[in-house]
Amino acid sequence: MLCWQSTFAAQEQVLLHGPADEAYRRTQSGHWFAQAAKLNPDVLPTSDGRSFVVAWRPPGTNPKRWIVSLHGTRGFATDDLAIWYPTLKDRDVGLLSVQWWVGADDTPRSYYAPLQIYREIDLALQKLGVQPGMAMLHGFSRGSANSYALAAIDAGRGRHYFSLIVASSGGVATDYPPTRALLAGAFGDHPLRGTRWITAAGARDPHPDRDGIPGMQRTAVWLAEQGATVIERIEDPAQGHGALQLNAANARHVLDIFLNKQP
């Protein structure tokens, strides 16, 4: 049985092979790779051997609550860890990040589809012993655009891990294939009904109607039409793409809501 490998810092120590190793090596070009390496997270290959997942928990702890984070276009799971760490370092919560960009270009075949992403999330959370309702799904940009289908899979066909989903700077597109599948009933009848959401956006986003405040306001309306509850809309007037993390107070606020289950 594969086990978690707490040997992240040195490339030669990470037990990945073939395409998974290639995917890991690409992460070394990430802006925050060095910071993530210092945190010594666990690294596990995906079930298909094409990529890997990164899991971090505060040293010496076994947290009950976890954040599952999806990077954006051409992003890296390792960078997600480094970006989230300042918010998580003093909290009893772990982070799981999936390297779902598995190719070398920006074509759809270079990314896992939502069912593939969820497969790896499910396997990893099972290994970690995470119980239903004890995880928060966070998607940034392209990860946010896929979070709607992922939440639908979890609620409609999955294990109900996610008590909260955070869509950050990535509005819903009804012509996007994962969203079309959701609306066609591929993940169940009205699978988003009863799910809880926070949307986040910045007024200076370069694509306001897609990922900025107007785009996320439109998304909040769409979520409500699907039967979901948007408990809060973070709209940061001073930030752009990625306003949730660019303003540390926004990320702390979201974490407070998740950990305290505040409405």
Chain segment 113-139, per-residue pLDDT in tens: 999 999 999 999 999 999 999 999 999
Give the domain CATH number at 188. Answer: 3.40.50.1820
Interior/surface letters 38-76, b for 16+ CB within 10 angstroms, e for the rest: ebebbbbbbeeebbbbbbbbeeeeebebbbbbbbbebbb
Contact indicator for 100, 70 with CB cutoff of 8 Å = yes
Total domains in the fold of the chain: 1
Query: Has residue 189 been placed in a domain?
Result: yes
Task: Provide the residue range defining the domain that includes 171.
Answer: 17-260
Residue 15 banded pLDDT, cuts 50, 70, 90: confident
Query: Has residue 87 been placed in a domain?
Result: yes
- What's the mean pLDDT in 57-74? 96
Q: How far is CA 106 from CA 40, 72, 111, in A?
A: 29, 11, 8
Query: Has residue 26 been placed in a domain?
Result: yes
Contact indicator for 75, 101 with CB cutoff of 8 Å = yes
Query: Has residue 107 been placed in a domain?
Result: yes
- How does the average pLDDT of the chain come out, rounded? 93
Q: What is the pLDDT of residue 3?
A: 45
Instruction: Kindly state the DSSP code that residue 70 receives in the 8-state scheme.
Output: E
Which residues on adjacent β-strands are paired with residue 235?
Answer: 201
What is the torsional sign of CA 173, 178, 183, 189?
negative
**The pTM of the whole model exceeds 0.85:** yes
Is the pLDDT confidence value at 49 over 50? Answer: yes
Is the pLDDT confidence value at 64 over 50? Answer: yes
Q: What is the pLDDT of residue 14?
A: 64
Query: Has residue 5 been placed in a domain?
Result: no
Query: Has residue 135 been placed in a domain?
Result: yes
Distance (Å, whole) CA 158 – CA 154: 4
- What's CA 159's distance to the chain center, in Å? 16
Is the pLDDT confidence value at 7 over 90? Answer: no
Query: Has residue 110 been placed in a domain?
Result: yes
Query: Has residue 9 been placed in a domain?
Result: no
Q: How far is CA 240 from CA 142, 146, 210, 230, in A?
A: 15, 20, 12, 21
